Amino acid sequence: MLTRASLTIRLHPDDDVVIARSQLVGGTQLMDEKVTIAGLVPPGHKVATRAIRSGEPVHRYNQIIGFASRDIAAGEHVHLHNLQMGAFDRDYAFGADVKPTDYVTHPASFLGIVRGEGANAGRVATRNYIGILSTVNCSATVSRGIADAFMYGALASELARHGNVDGVVALTHGSGCGMDTHGEGMQVLRRTLAGYARHPNFAGVLVIGLGCEANQISSLFGAENLQETALLRTFSIQDTGGTAKSITKGIELIKEMLPQANAVKRESVPASHITVGLQCGGSDGYSGITANPALGAAVDLLVRHGGTAILSETPEIYGAEHLLTRRAIAREVGEKLVGRIRWWEEYTARNRGEMNNNPSPGNKAGGLTTILEKSLGAVAKGGTTNLVDVYEYAQTVTSKGFVYMDTPGYDPVSATGQVAGGANMIVFTTGRGSAYGCAPSPSLKLSTNTALWVRQEEDIDLNCGEIADGTASVDEIGAKLFALMLGTASGRKSKSEQHGYGQNEFVPWALGAVM
């Protein structure tokens, strides 16, 4: 049977595979490719357009995504059964693709909240929460009890009377003790908690400890140069006298913060005050074709308007890092990125793992075969502008433009680091339907395919599947996303906020031995 060539997507003239737009059955002829489908090819999966001998590299995006593990015939499904990882050299070509940024003359604006005092003076918030941070797992229940009283309990009416406060959220975790008090794990935890304590989207913060934990409040504040104020309060459960008394005390402290937290107004500010964390989860074969490039187009617009975008998830740029080093504004910036790649190679090796442990089963079901293929699609989220700096996990991002932060690929851990670094918004692409939010920063979800949008629209803010459908271009969806980002930064609630996501997704990166 004869069909249109539009049943598949070719990403580069020199690619060895094309991508199925819909399920292809054996005998289907692809006119432009001059091949006939052999067997069944699911949507989003790869089809060989030429015969590939065992051991030969296979190209997608005009980049190597793996090597044939056996002979592959033209028209055959290319996936786990015939494609595998292999070693090859990358040309890092530091700075080879650096180009001047075309900044706009009249930057876009949004309605933000300008903080007027303390460490956050002059910083701009996209949300206005009061946060409760636990120093240790042992203070998590008390922290949640205080927040729940305002969000769902007897004090909900009290919170409602302060209409400019978006909510009271408890961000708890499973660490803070049983660890080296001077080790890397403790340093990362404290850096993360401090980043949240200083985050402009928090009008006020209450830090609660148990009293005997390794991560003492005094040590946290000393290490991170934090000082208690009327809007940054602390106490420990043991000093207060137990659970019930601690919840009562915490409620009274939040009550004291509410009037001052409520005394804010949104005002027009430049888009340069937006710092967005870029995430992808539940990726599929369309991610690198639709949602990720569309997000990259929006990132290019944001950077041109003076804003900042943070690309992360180091295990998910593995094999594509050379595309980023070419954009590094200085050799040392590119070498910092390569240094983090080498750290991850050593980290996975000493834990008896491998970098190709990613993609996940869901990624593979969606058409992604190797981490090389996944990474090449993932870096598209970063657009095309220069890479201006590289940060370690949860470090404060001070540079403007496109930057990189070293994080794991696990989305909650990765985004937690980005928000600690200052991201006041997260944009998250998904092909399988990830459920995610990230208080205190709003999170926008993008679907890579229209089928997901139709099935799970209640969780998705924008459908990028129109690109694969041929009804919209990458630039058109990117412009639509940029407008959505401005609206969300101005206070429009995302789907994840409407559903109440955001507290459970606070997951600091746990490094080092549990003692």
Over residues 457-465, the mean pLDDT reads 97
pLDDT at residue 89, rounded to an integer: 87
**71: pLDDT strictly greater than 90:** yes
pTM score of the predicted model: 0.95
**5: pLDDT strictly greater than 60:** no
What DSSP designation does 397 have? P
How far is Cα 96 from Cα 261, in angstroms, rounded to an integer?
Answer: 48
pLDDT at residue 448, rounded to an integer: 97
Beta strands (DSSP E) in 379-509 are: 387-391, 401-405, 425-430, 443-447, 462-463
pLDDT at residue 117, rounded to an integer: 73
Closest to 151 measured CA to CA, from 503, 506, 444: 503
Q: What is the mean pLDDT of the chain?
A: 95
**116: pLDDT strictly greater than 90:** no
Q: How confident is the model at residue 279 (pLDDT cuts 50, 70, 90)?
A: very high
For residue range 296-313, list pLDDT tens digits in order.
999 999 999 999 999 999
**356: pLDDT strictly greater than 80:** no
Q: How confident is the model at residue 145 (pLDDT cuts 50, 70, 90)?
A: very high
Residue with tokens 């794990």: 185
pLDDT at residue 355, rounded to an integer: 76
pLDDT at residue 497, rounded to an integer: 97
DSSP assignment of 59-80 equals EETTEEEEEESS-B-TTBEEST
Over residues 184-201, the mean pLDDT reads 97
User: Rounded to the nearest 5°, which phi and psi values hold at 78?
Assistant: -110, 115
Straight-line distance from the first to the last Cα atom of the chain, in angstroms, rounded to the nearest whole number: 65
Q: How confident is the model at residue 357 (pLDDT cuts 50, 70, 90)?
A: low
**3: pLDDT strictly greater than 50:** no
For residue range 39-50, list pLDDT tens digits in order.
999 999 999 999
- Reported as type and span, the H/E element at residue 338 is helix 331-350
Over residues 321-339, the mean pLDDT reads 98
pLDDT at residue 258, rounded to an integer: 98
Over residues 155-167, the mean pLDDT reads 97
pLDDT above 70: percentage of residues in the chain: 98
For residue range 124-135, list pLDDT tens digits in order.
999 999 999 999
pLDDT at residue 4, rounded to an integer: 46
**332: pLDDT strictly greater than 50:** yes
**32: pLDDT strictly greater than 90:** no
Kind of pairing between the strands at 63-68 and 57-60 = antiparallel
